[in-house]
Structure formats: C-alpha cells, structure tokens
Chains A and B, each alone.
Chain A
Amino acid sequence: METVIDSHNISKVYEETAIPVHAVSEIHLHLERGEFTALVGPSGSGKTTLLNLIGGLDRPTTGYVEIGGVNITKLKDNQLIDFRLNNIGFIFQSYNLIPVLTASENIEFIMLLQGRSKSERETRVHELLRQVGIEDKHDVRPAQLSGGQQQRVAVARALASKPRFMLADEPTANLDSVAAGNLLDIMAKLNREENMTFIFSTHDARVIDRARRVITLQDGRVISDERYAQK
C-alpha cells in the first residue's frame, strides 16, 4: 500500500498564555492511500490541531509530518503553500467559498493557481460539477446556494487540484441530515471509485458510522485507533 501521511511523534504546544497548552502530544499517525478515516473526540481533544498539522496549515512544536515521503515541516512558507495547493484538498465546516465568485469560478480558481490551461480548467470544472451533482448551479454565487450545495462546491474545489488526499474539518456540522447524507455519499463514492483518501474530524455519528477507520483523541493524545471492514 502507498503511504500518504506519516506523522512522527508530533506535538503542538500553544504558549499564548503563561501556562503552555498541549494541544497535541506525541502522535504517530500512518495513513495509506484509499483510507476513509474519522478523527473523533470531545471538543478540545486536538482534532482540528492534528488536521492543521497534517495539512501543513500549522507547524508542530516537535516531531515532523511526511506526506508522500516529503517532510513538510521543513518546507519554507512558499514551498509549503505550493505543496498544499498540489497535494491536499481542504473541506471546511463553514464551506469557505469565495463569495464573489460563482460555483464554477470557485472550482476553477484552484486550477488557475496551479497554472492549468483554460481548456483543461473548463473540462475539469464541468466534470467536477457533474460529479457532485450541481451542474445546474455552475453560474450561481455561494450566497444563492443552500448549505449542502455550498459544501458540494467545496468538495469539487478540493478535488480540482487532484490532491493526494482530502482533509475535512467537521464537514457535515452545518448540514441537515439529508444534505449530510448526500455529501457523505459523494465522498464515499470518490473514495470507492477513485481510491481518494479522506480524513475527517467529526462529532457526527453519521460520518463515524461511514468511516472504515476511527481514531479517537483525548487531551491531545490518541486513545484508540480502530479499523472496520468495508462499509
């Protein structure tokens, strides 16, 4: 199996106050291509911090993260930004689409940053919109879309760069059950058909229920790491 993420003894300590806060402590994590993994745990357990460290949005205080064999902890700021662009797809709880761009422009934007050609961008935008089932909304700005539709655009945007894996921080937290179900179906299909690696932080039982690996965090430490058969 191809290793996608390898974290080596990573810890993150915030020292904004006089008392250091150990958000994540000595975590070893090994994820392989095609995994559908949920990070679970109570609020403040370190799920988001761990996702940020894996996604290169933050740097660990100790330890390092390797993605596809590249030690991203050692990358300089611009190298890290480019690495994220080309290797990681992000899905956020609040969708975080660019409000002044239409659905298709939001998806195309990532490919523009990658310097892809116009024809390639157009073809891929069309394909991604079809994949997430909102082709008819291509010319609509995020404010005119429902939460579920916005999150689908966010998934399509995350896929646009052809990433190695997708990081999703509480992707269903703001969605009703139907929208959440539809979104999970799309992600499960991508995982099944394209062998796309997903790692979620979540409280949502529906997500946990669909995951084939569930890593439980508490006080910044992994307290359990369980694998399930294909769901």
Chain B
Amino acid sequence: MLGKIAWRNVWRRRGRSIVIICSVAIGLWAGLFVTSFYFGFAEERIRSAIEMEISHVQLHHPEFKKERDVRFTIPRTGELLKWLSTNPYVQHVSGRLTGRGMIASASGNSGIQINGVTPRDEDTLTKLASKLVEGKYFPGTRNNEILIGKKLSQKLKVKVGSKLVLTMQDKAGSIASGAFKVVGVFATKNTPYDEMNVFAARNDLAIMLGDSLAITEIALLLNSQDSVDAFVRIAKARYPALLVEGWRTVAPEMDLVISVIDQMMYIFMGIVLLAMAFGIVNTMLMAVLERTREIGMLIALGMRRSRVFAMIVLETFFLMLAGTPIGMVLAWATILYFGNHGIDISAFQETLRSFGYSDVIYPKLGLYQYGQVLILVALTAFISALLPARKALKLEPAEAIRK
C-alpha cells in the first residue's frame, strides 16, 4: 500500500512530475552518450595501437628493452616461432629485427625505429600494405627496399624511388649502414608513429648487421583480446628466460587511457546526477510542504515516522526511476546507431592524428557501465530524498493538521 500511495502521489502533480521525469531521461541520455563517446574514443585508440604498434603480446630478450640494442636477440627462434604459429591462442605472428638508428636523405636525417620484418608476416599482423598511400608493399624487385611513413617522407623530402641511408649499431657495437630505396610510403592514424618508424625486409637488415638469424622482437595477435593474460602465463611458464608481455604492460599508457575514461564517466555522470538531484530535492520539498496536513494526519492516525520516511523515499525513487528507463533506452538506441555508423570528426583530423587518435569514433558502452549508472541513479534518488523526508519526519501531527 505504501508503494501504491507513493506511486500515485508522483502523479498528483502530473505536469511537475513529467518535467522531472523528462529531465532525468534527457540527463541520463546525454550523460550516457557522452560517456560512450569517450569510451569509443579510447577503444579506437587502443584498437589501432594494438593493430599497428604493440600487438596483443610481445616477446623479447629480457635486456632488449633497456636500450633496444640489437645485441639482445631472442635465442632459438626457430623452435619458438614453430610453437607460436601452432598455438591455439595465436592468430598471427611476426618476428622482427628492430632497433634504434638513423635515417639520412640528401635533405636531412632523423632518429628512428628501424623494423626489419618478414613482409608477408608483418602484413598479416599489422595490415601494413593497406596503409600504403604511395608505392608498393615490398615488391621484391631488388634488395634493400624500405617503407617509410608519410610524415617522415615529408621531413626528409623523399618520395618513392628515393635513396636513403640507414645507420645502426651491429651486435659488436660497431656502426653499420646501408643504402635503401623507398618503395612505399605509409600513413597510419598516428602521425608520430609515421614519423618514427621505417620497415625493411628482415633479411636485408640482418645482412647489414651481420647476423642472418637475428630476431629481437616477436609480436603476436591472439584470437581474442580476452585471452592475453592466459597466454602470457602459459608462454612465461614455457620460456622463463624470455620477457613475455601483454599489451597493457608493453604500453601502460593505454591502460591509463581506460582508467582515465572510467573516472571521467563517474565525474561526468556525477555532475549530471547532481544537477538532477537539485531538481528532485526541490520538487519533493514542494510536495512535502504542500502535503503537510496530509502527512500530519497520517502520523496522527498511526503511521510511524519510519513509514513516512519510507513513503517519501519511495516517491523520490519512483520519480527518478520513471525517467531512468526512458533515458537508458534512448541512450542505448543512440549508441547502437552511432556505434554502427560512427561519428565522423575528421574536421579535427590533424590534431587527432598527432595524438594517435582516429577521426571516426564508434561510441560504445558495456552492460557493466549501464549497471554502474543505474546504481548511481538509485544512490542519487536516495540522497535526494533525505532532505524532504527529514522535513516530513519533523512534522508534529497536531500542528500539521491545523495547516
């Protein structure tokens, strides 16, 4: 009966309640959509980083990452690559000979990351060929072919067919260099990456460095992102001498992006709900003041104050929860639509790409986040109810009935 009275009380001032319900619905819709936008934003960055830059899992010699020195190669790569390529968790594998070096053209030079790759494996892993904007993907017509990023090509003022000199330290610590011909220019969604990376055939690089079997990095894409931790555990147990890292360890800043977005959701929804709470407190205070005599009468007839408190809290809950499903369904539909079609923000392409972000965002929100918002809404309703309910509790029946 208490629930019935509370629900019917919500509709006593239909217009006023509808305004509050609409504001709850619109506030939730806006809050959820903006949150999903940021989650999509972060997810797109992580997806592109995994695809192009860090993969799901990387394997190195334990000392390699300190200075990215080519002396620290992965031992017995033949057996390791065989195990990886037949592992049920693993989708694609690429063994690389990577290191820091210099690239020089007639117009200038730059410090870069040199990636010696097996062209077919690398394309399978990173879809590098699809990112070419000029030239061809390792046509194999000659030795020492190189792919460079668009930003780097602009910096060094080179194009397809130009010659470049790569210089890096070999295993003995001596300077090794070689002339390479640009066969393709790639452009990813991450301009700094394009400026800092070049790709050459691993065999060519190995010859330059005098170690034809050298591999310093093995990058893996797994069948599922969810199995990263499980796979890392298995690989570590099998190869304890190697450094096996999941993408969160390889690029902790990506993990930071997720936790920042998560915290942003709480802050943003907190602001939205706080604004709603003020509206609801005001409405419920009005309701209590308007019904002073009625509440006094209920206490006079024998309704305990705890029940009066419960009635006001229930009323506030109903008022808020009536708008919640509307807001959530609206948000879900909007997120679903834009999650499939994307939101084109290419007007900010230059800025976005300089931070490695995509210019098409696919908003996304998990069930977990909807659940979190629902809990926040319930909490807000309860907190909003406290002041009006306290007001009702303080009523003295004899005094209230006279009003």
Q: In the assembled complex, which residues on chain A have CB atoms less than 8 Å from the CB atom of B305? A: 77-78, 81
- Give the complex CA separation of A86 and B301 in angstroms: 9
- Asked if B299 CB lies within 8 Å of chain A CBs, one says yes
Interface string of B364-403 (1 = CB under 8 A from A): 0000000000000000000000000000000011100110
Q: In the assembled complex, which residues on chain B have CB atoms less than 8 Å from the CB atom of A110? A: 301-302
A98 touches B401 (CB 8 A): no
| A58, A86, A100: the one within 8 Å of B5 (CB) | A100
Size of interface on A: residues with Cβ below 8 Å to B: 29
| A82, A92, A105: the one within 8 Å of B297 (CB) | A92
Interface string of A98-111 (1 = CB under 8 A from B): 11110001001110
A96 touches B5 (CB 8 A): no
B302 touches A82 (CB 8 A): yes
- Asked if B333 CB lies within 8 Å of chain A CBs, one says no
Q: In the assembled complex, which residues on chain B have CB atoms less than 8 Å from the CB atom of A90? A: 300-301
- Asked if B347 CB lies within 8 Å of chain A CBs, one says no
- Asked if B1 CB lies within 8 Å of chain A CBs, one says yes
Within 8 A of B (CB), among A140-179: 157, 161
- Asked if B19 CB lies within 8 Å of chain A CBs, one says no
- Asked if A85 CB lies within 8 Å of chain B CBs, one says yes
Interface residue tally of chain B, by bracket? 20 to 34
- Asked if B293 CB lies within 8 Å of chain A CBs, one says yes
- Give the complex CA separation of A112 and B303 in angstroms: 10
B293 touches A96 (CB 8 A): yes
- Asked if A84 CB lies within 8 Å of chain B CBs, one says yes
Given A96-B297, A100-B8; A81-B401 close (CB under 8 Å): no
Interface string of B177-220 (1 = CB under 8 A from A): 00000000000000000000000000000000000000000000
- Give the complex CA separation of A78 and B304 in angstroms: 6
- Asked if B12 CB lies within 8 Å of chain A CBs, one says yes
B302 touches A161 (CB 8 A): yes
24 contacts across the A-B interface (CB closer than 8 A): A52-B398, A57-B300, A57-B398, A78-B304, A78-B305, A81-B302, A82-B304, A84-B301, A85-B301, A86-B302, A90-B301, A92-B297, A92-B401, A94-B293, A96-B401, A98-B5, A98-B298, A99-B12, A105-B1, A108-B1, A109-B1, A113-B301, A113-B307, A161-B302
| B9, B293, B397: the one within 8 Å of A57 (CB) | B397
- Asked if B262 CB lies within 8 Å of chain A CBs, one says no
B294 touches A85 (CB 8 A): no
- Give the complex CA separation of A163 and B12 in angstroms: 31
